[in-house]
Amino acid sequence: MTSGTWSDSIPGVGTFFVGIDVAPGRYRCDQGKGGWWVRFTGPGGGDPVGSWPLPAGPVEIEIARTDFAFETHVSTYWRRIAPPRAAEDAAPAEPRPVADPALRAELDTLVARRRPLMWLAPLSVLGLGLVGHPLLGSLWLIALGMLAVLVALGTPSVSLDLRRARELERSRDRYFVPDDFDDEGRALLARVQAAVDAVTTSEVNREGMLDAVANAVTLPRQEWEIAQVLARQSKLRAEQRELAEGATLPEVEAALRPLRAKLDVSVEAVTRRVEALERYARSAREADEALHAQRHLETIAEKAHEYDELLADTVRDDLALPAIERLHGQSHELVRTLRERLARAAEAADELPP
């Protein structure tokens, strides 16, 4: 699955970052027998929660907005059946973790390089069985053979989970969690993610009317770059508050004043970048509305011949023609509107920083 591209399904095997590779929500797979899954929860995914082995038949899993990553090994796809549960109160949505878009591929490569070592455990068990066979007989060999199979099935899942969690911890500078931001930073990040979601899930993007390939690459990078700035701003604001608490002399306040001004300029700049993303999202939503209206009108137009026949059978032809022409005119006008809105969306995308 390409980073930044969401769909309503997750491949049965792989590791996927929540909010980058997969959308949060409730998922279901039709057959989980013998498989397993792990949700990397907590700050930075440091608290893996999983289930192994899964029972036969359908299995459901809730991927939360605050989960960092989801790892799965089942024989079928996971299909999203419901959006994430809404917060019970009216508080603003908590932003999801943000990772460097290149991080997942790098982690997969690191884990894959160590995969052959995982099979040393079952091979060691078999070797022990062969050594003990002359003394303890065939039953000993059979028992250790069964143990080797169990170890072979369990070792990859446990080892991969632990290794991936350790690699995530080593890459702590490559991702941010909500606790890395203050209230102002979280609010701006939530706006960024809402805008990115609106574009990537829009129908015009899914059908390739927008540059879906560029969006899959550009939007996650925009989210990551903005998150980096917001995290630094949050840290500097906290430092300024600490310095201001001990400031009793006017000279200290005077020294802090230019620092606050520089931070304000940075906040204004990143806010403009967020607003550019929001303009792009609005354009995508408007194009979706025009597309839906056009398709409704096309459905109506398919029925036009029935009305034409009805009018021809009941009134003069000169009364039927204007009605049909008017319907076609509406269709052409809506197509023009859709094209204009798609053009505006493309212009809004061009406003995003390179």
Between helices 250-302 and 183-200, what is the axis angle to 10°? 20
Sign of CA dihedral 114, 115, 118, 122: negative
Q: Is residue 50 part of a domain?
A: yes
Mean pLDDT of the chain: 76
- Based on the fold, state whether residues 26 and 75 are members of the same structural domain: yes
pLDDT band with cut points at 50, 70 and 90 for residue 161: low
Question: 272 and 184 in one domain?
Answer: yes
For residue 6, the one-letter residue type is: W
Does 185 have pLDDT greater than 90?
A: yes
Both 297 and 181 in one domain: the answer is yes
Rounded mean pLDDT of 79-106? Answer: 73
| Confidence tier at 217 by pLDDT (50, 70, 90) | confident
Average pLDDT over residues 13-17: 86
For residues 267 and 214, membership in a common domain is answered with: yes
Do 214 and 159 lie in one domain? The reply is: no
Domain interval for residue 196: 176-301
Close Cβ partners of 249 (under 8 Å, ≥ 6 residues apart): none
- Tell me the average pLDDT across 179-191: 91
Last residue of a domain, one of 28, 51, 85: 85
Pair 76, 106 in one domain: no
Domains identified in the chain, total number: 3
What's the rounded mean pLDDT across residues 273-297?
84
Report CA Rg, the chain: 28
Residues 122 and 80 in one domain: no
Find the mean pLDDT for residues 52-60. 87
DSSP 53: S
The more confidently predicted of residues 134 and 282 is 282
Boundary (domain end) residue, out of 265, 283, 301: 301
Residue 136 lies in a domain: yes
162, 52: one domain: no
Side chain identity, residue 41:
T
Shared domain check, 131 and 67: no
Picking from 301, 327, 349, the residue at the C-terminal end of a domain is 301
Say whether pLDDT at 88 is over 70: no
Confirm whether 321 is domain-assigned. no
d(CA 258, CA 65) in angstroms, rounded, equals 38
Does residue 182 sit in the same domain as residue 290? yes
